[in-house]
Structure 1
């Protein structure tokens, strides 16, 4: 049964009014009575991923990727912090495997549950573009810009478009800059919701 604080985090419409999480994710968060701050964080990253994916689809329609997988991955990437709440306010990686196991045991296909493990591993060789987009959303929501990660996404965009790298970089830098510029509002939204 979900706490009142969790329910508030799931529907809070205050600025920046992030999109609601998918029903399947809301049900799971309520079932495990996830920390409210986790729900707020997942909404924020999911919202950034939604905007990022929309830009990619408009600007790079030839890029083949699974939009719904990216959005689900962004909405669940840190769900393991429901099992390891100490990692909401401190470092740690136990939530990654914990999140994968929580999702898999809840009937989520391994292909979708993987984002709980891959959201912090962009330097691993061979990651799919879906994983990289989830990683990117998880960084830029708080204003972080990671050159190596952005370069990996850039490689995919250049390859599918045939455009010059500098041209693709300019557009991507602009959209990421716009998303990063809203980080303070997102951080304030997240901070309004309690860790426990």
Structure 2
């Protein structure tokens, strides 16, 4: 494994970007530093976390009566691929070994199971016991690069419609408008991520 200077990881975590990307929660940034995470992973987590903030803020504004654990969604988005620090080959190719590895890694670092689980479940949005928090993390993990997954979005629409009593088509139109807007900045996020190396 080649060693990447820590300033490269710091740039991925802290560099100003246009359009702006929010910083990761300090506890997550510290964890990534302690793991000497690949800079590309840090950049990816930052991009997904930023989209998750937009999603959860939108849900909070549009559905004030809907109980969503915002902190859990944001932590889940900020750490969902942390297992790729152990499986960096999955940063540039397919693979799911990072999912269980990420959950276990977070548990080893004292993260409660209810938060660590997102690392293992972010690709399992079609599971029967999926929560609104799972759906939001999974959606952020797709739309950051303007990838639309109709079945995932339908699942989220159904959850939102059930919570409000409004018609699913109405919720679909509102969500589609948001995801289209978020997708418009995907090229900037992808460019930001691609400027950082995969190797540790």
Query: Structure 2 length as normaliser, TM-score?
Result: 0.95
The answer on 1:50 being equivalent to 2:53 is yes
DSSP-derived class of the 1:17 partner: coil
The residue that corresponds to 1:192 in the other structure is 195
Unaligned runs of 5+ in 1: none
Q: Which runs of 5 or more structure 2 residues have no equivalent in the other structure?
A: none
1:89 aligns with 2:92: yes
Cα deviation for residue 2 of structure 1 reads 7.2
Partner of 1:117 in structure 2? 120
Please say if residues 2 and 31 of structure 1, whose CA atoms lie closer than 8 Å, have aligned partners that are also in contact: no
Shift of residue 17, structure 1, vs aligned partner: 2.2
1:78-157 equivalent positions in 2, closer than 5 A: 78-157=81-160
Cα root mean square deviation, aligned: 1.2
In 2, distance between residues paired with 1:132 and 1:4?
34
Give 4+ residue runs of structure 1 displaced > 3 Å after superposition.
none
TM-score (norm 1): 0.97
Write the distance in 2 (CA, Å) between the matches of 1:16 and 1:190: 13
Q: How many residues end up aligned between the 2 structures?
A: 196
Which digits, 9 at most, give the CA deviation of each residue in 1:121-170, with x for residues without a partner? 11111111101100000000000000110011111110111112211111
Aligned pair partner of 2:162 in 142, 149, 159: 159
Matched, 1:61 2:64: yes
Counterpart Cα distance in 2 of 1:149 and 1:167: 17
In the aligned structure 2, how far is the partner of 1:138 from the partner of 1:16?
18
Match of 1:76 among 51, 74, 79: 79
